Amino acid sequence: MKLKDFAREIGLSPTTVSRALSGYPEVSASTRVRVMEEAARLGYRPNINAVRLATGRAGAIGVVMTKAGDYQFSEFISGMADRLSSEDTDILITPMIGHDPGDELQLYRRLAESRRVDAVVIHSPLPNDPRIALLDRLKLPFIVHGRSVTDVPHAWLDIDNEGAIRQSTEHLLDLGHKHIALLNGREGLTFTLDRLKGYRQALTDRGIPFDPKLVSHGDFTDEIGFRFARSALKQRPQPTAFVAGSMMTALGIYRAARSMNLVIGRDVSVVAHDDVFPYLTAENMVPPLSTTRSSIRAAGKRIADLLLQILAGQQASDIQELWPVELILRETSRPAPEEASV
């Protein structure tokens, strides 16, 4: 059933029906109620494509699937979905084509040109991220999940990566650890740099020298955690503690320690960052893992909310949220073992 038929059916003009259904103020309350009831009864629904063509709105928020196999992705999306379920806005997943950084820019360009999304989310920004400059130029509204360093004013939401890692490192230093390894994210990303900053700051404050051999970069996989932890644990002096970027890398560290007959929480301390996943929880690990915690699901939810605000006219450059991160002590951060002669 189309608007015209429906309107005729209930003896009103298409205009009035459209207004009643869209919540315009100039319709009388009684008419509105009647229209809504009739619509429900007769099962009338506006054709979404017609609405979009007429209004110019796409009714969707775009998310580019940057790379395969990011296990944080679904939690984030799920958070967005949570917020958007009450709106008439969908999430549009656009596959990343090719592998060059240039391909990704091309993708955003096409997304903007095809007008199939009203706004997009940018993940894992670089300092001075070219996507930000591009979207600003294309005038496609966006919000950055994470932070960049750029002159282009824009909306962003980030967790306090620097503070989180500083806290973790300080906590381990408090426990007497002198050789603390850091499993950082992919090189070049802003959050990776922020984490390094937090780590170095904590060391500097205590007068502990920075040793680049104790820092690694890479994706958050169990594999990379395992490899780096093993090689780090073979160094002398042996590190007595790890600050891990994610739950997956922490799993790798556990595995590496076991493979070398070291006991987590006794020989080796670990603090990891936990994005909070329903299927793998820090308190359930053996031993329970000390973490800095920040829900990526909550971030997705809030980001959807902020985008809706931007689309409603809110100034994007006014939106900047830095979320604090909570350090939760469990059983993997323990006093450093006595200095052994190695």
Q: Binding of a second copy at residue 82 (CB under 8 A)?
A: yes
User: What DSSP designation does 334 have?
Assistant: -
The length of the chain is 342
In the complex with a second copy, the residue whose CB is nearer, 167 or 294, is 294
CB of residue 310 to DNA, shortest distance in Å: 18
Residue matched to tokens 């009831």:
37
In the complex with a second copy, the residue whose CB is nearer, 81 or 328, is 81
Q: Interface residues with DNA (CB under 7 A)?
A: 2-4, 11-16, 18-19, 21-22, 25-28, 31, 45-47, 50-51, 53-56
Q: Binding of a second copy at residue 77 (CB under 8 A)?
A: yes
Long-range residue pairs from 46-51, CB within 8 A, at least 24 positions apart, any chain? 46/3, 46/18, 46/21, 47/2
Q: Binding of a second copy at residue 299 (CB under 8 A)?
A: no
CB of residue 60 to DNA, shortest distance in Å: 16
CB of residue 9 to DNA, shortest distance in Å: 12
In the structure encoding, which two tokens stand for residue 313, read together?
A: 């006219």
Measured CA to CA in angstroms, residue 108 lies from 52, 114, 119, 320 at distances of 20, 10, 11, 22
The residue within the footprint of a second copy, chosen from 33, 40, 42, 48 (CB under 8 A), is 48
CB of residue 38 to DNA, shortest distance in Å: 13
Characterise 323 by phi-psi region: left (phi > 0), alpha (psi -120 to 50), beta (else). Answer: beta
Q: Binding of a second copy at residue 285 (CB under 8 A)?
A: yes
Run of H or E including 321: strand 320-323
What is the Cα–Cα distance from 288 to 279, expressed in whole angstroms? 15
In the structure encoding, which two tokens stand for residue 250, read together?
A: 């922490």
- Taken in order 79, 83, 86, 92, the sign of the CA dihedral is negative
Residue 253 binds: one of a second copy, DNA, none (C-beta under 5 to 8 A by kind): none
Residues that bind a second copy in the complex, under the rule CB under 8 A: 43, 45, 47-50, 52-53, 56, 58-60, 65, 68-71, 73-75, 77-78, 81-82, 84-86, 90-97, 110, 113-116, 219-223, 226, 248, 251-252, 255, 258-259, 277-281, 284-286, 297
